[in-house]
Structure 1
């Protein structure tokens, strides 16, 4: 089974280059909705701003839902400092050292865009040689140097920048000749692109799925409540497609699809996990099963909200999550092929 990997990678590049920190996702969800409609799938926008699409199946009494999230890590302007620089407040969970030195953009409430760089207050080694490397990276010592002629708070205010304006990080997307995809926000725009690739394949083959299937492209996952509402009635199986974490003590790598057995929320549905492993083995996929110690998905959030569902979690292996992330085209393909096999399969027991 050939999957449209090039389409998925190109789609990811478009998504990654569309800023969408949690709370400011309207542009990227509008793009996703338009792309799904271009592929022939009707969509609606939820009150929270997520995209919900439905593909009718042969069985309309037992539904499936797949979700991926399009919101990303980011920041907000917390304070405009007297020296014309900006203090930030985090959106999502990351370490300040992961964004030190990163280019960023500030979007004002009236739509103006300014660029800048995230630095420490003592970035120059020539001035602060003893302090620069030793200081702990916290909110108090990080600031944005704006690429405008501003020397004080009043000049920043004159640009229209205010407390509460969104700050997004430059993704710096690169696709190498060897097939690696380096970018911020592979978590979870890679999985959104993969789902769109699966939809494209389904539409081109014209096959009907055994169960009515919903796609929920959520937009609040990074702050903990992306996919715990707008779950259509009759949904029994809920599969979150997010990233597979890579690190010491884990099996997942940048070439496989990762199947999560347990994360910080607890075990995923045992029957769903065994079902996914069986499909991966039957289709000769490169897969790994892992336990993520510091992780939580939209599927587990839905259970916490009280939904009576069977839940699972898979995703492409992503190195250096919530930092300078990287994966490979092979992980895109293995994940897409597992999703397709799942959509074509019988019900989870």
Structure 2
């Protein structure tokens, strides 16, 4: 099977993961992708909404235009309130359980550009003070706060640091690549796919696809409307690339690429899915097939906004989605290989 440049893809992925980009605060991550594309000789275009699009011409240009869509925005939070103790409460950006971010290091991004670090804790964090009450505390927004890494004990002292209601808060991704090939981090959803997009683009520049191939990186997927606008108007087929959720009673795997045939928005296009199955067989890939009951994608957003094209969803298997996630380089390589195999099909 045709492979992406894995060291290049991983290097880009780690830098993307280390670049904060909660939904609504994605400028630095988009700029990083732009810089990588320009280094490859590609000139991307930003939409007015802040998304990024680029194309690689096919040698059978005009026959079919395939667009891959993925998102660079991640889960995060905003400052909701500054407490009299000087600590701040949060409002979630994206869907996650508060228990999955307890104890996580965060960065508060102030309007002045100053970044202040802190940690998400609950209001009864010390077991030596609260005993059993800590273990029975329901983790929800009302009991979570940020302990700032600055000497502050009042609301006025916190405001004097430049912190204000509405400031964005990013979670530390903590990316790691293990000797056995596992990639661990927050926000593999969906920076893994964006890094693969760059690996696939590099491969297509070296060996052109049969079909003109576009890439669309969105910035509001985690709140449901990422690809509602901006998909290239000449798109004949849209393939969303996002994480495949690994878990009990699921077929997705950290070592494989998955075709999601249905999620909370209903089934994806059957015929396009079958064309992807055929491409995977041709490339000698083991393609997993799965359904996700609590999931939606940029493809769903594009369809709901009136997109007149078939949509499919593929992606690398990711364990512990919306928490501290993990995938394997096998899944990244397989996802890139399926994308390359599909756009190089002559039919």
* TM-score for both structures, normalised by structure 1: 0.97
Aligned pair 1:337/2:337, yes or no? yes
TM superposition shift of 1:236: 1.2
TM superposition shift of 1:346: 4.2
Aligned pair 1:48/2:46, yes or no? no
Aligned pair 1:238/2:227, yes or no? no
Tell me the equivalent position of 1:14. Answer: 15
TM superposition shift of 1:3: 2.2
TM superposition shift of 1:280: 1.1
The 5 A counterparts of 1:65-80 are 65-80=67-82
Q: Deviations over 1:192-251 (max 9, x none)?
A: 001100111122x2x332222211111110000111211222211000110000111111
Cα distance in 2 for partners of 1:60, 1:25 equals: 33
TM superposition shift of 1:33: 1.0
Tell me the equivalent position of 1:159. Answer: 161
Q: Deviations over 1:99-131 (max 9, x none)?
A: 000001100011100000000000000001121
Cα distance in 2 for partners of 1:139, 1:250 equals: 29
TM superposition shift of 1:301: 1.1
Checking the alignment, whether the CA contact within 8 Å between 1:61 and 1:234 is kept in structure 2 is no
Checking the alignment, whether the CA contact within 8 Å between 1:104 and 1:118 is kept in structure 2 is yes
Cα distance in 1 for partners of 2:47, 2:306 equals: 19
The 3-state SS of whatever aligns with 1:71 is coil
1:111 equivalent among 85, 92, 113 = 113
Tell me the equivalent position of 1:199. Answer: 201
TM superposition shift of 1:96: 0.1
Tell me the equivalent position of 1:268. Answer: 268
TM superposition shift of 1:61: 5.8
Tell me the equivalent position of 2:322. Answer: 322
Tell me the equivalent position of 1:210. Answer: 210
Aligned pair 1:171/2:173, yes or no? yes
Cα distance in 1 for partners of 2:239, 2:228 equals: 12
TM superposition shift of 1:44: 1.0
Q: Deviations over 1:37-62 (max 9, x none)?
A: 11111111111111111222222363
Cα distance in 2 for partners of 1:133, 1:59 equals: 61
Tell me the equivalent position of 2:102. Answer: 100
The 3-state SS of whatever aligns with 1:131 is helix
For the aligned residues, what is the CA RMSD? 1.0
Structure 2 unaligned segments of length 5 or more: list them. none
The 3-state SS of whatever aligns with 1:210 is coil
1:190 equivalent among 189, 192, 203 = 192
Tell me the equivalent position of 1:225. Answer: 225
TM superposition shift of 1:143: 0.2
The 3-state SS of whatever aligns with 1:60 is coil
The 3-state SS of whatever aligns with 1:235 is coil
Q: 62-71 or 133-142: which moved more?
A: 62-71
Checking the alignment, whether the CA contact within 8 Å between 2:3 and 2:336 is kept in structure 1 is no
Tell me the equivalent position of 2:29. Answer: 28
Tell me the matched-pair count: 345
TM superposition shift of 1:316: 0.3
Structure 1 unaligned segments of length 5 or more: list them. none
Tell me the equivalent position of 1:294. Answer: 294
Checking the alignment, whether the CA contact within 8 Å between 1:104 and 1:116 is kept in structure 2 is yes
The 3-state SS of whatever aligns with 2:135 is coil
* TM-score for both structures, normalised by structure 2: 0.97
Cα distance in 1 for partners of 2:288, 2:188 equals: 19
The 5 A counterparts of 1:79-98 are 79-98=81-100
Checking the alignment, whether the CA contact within 8 Å between 1:239 and 1:299 is kept in structure 2 is yes
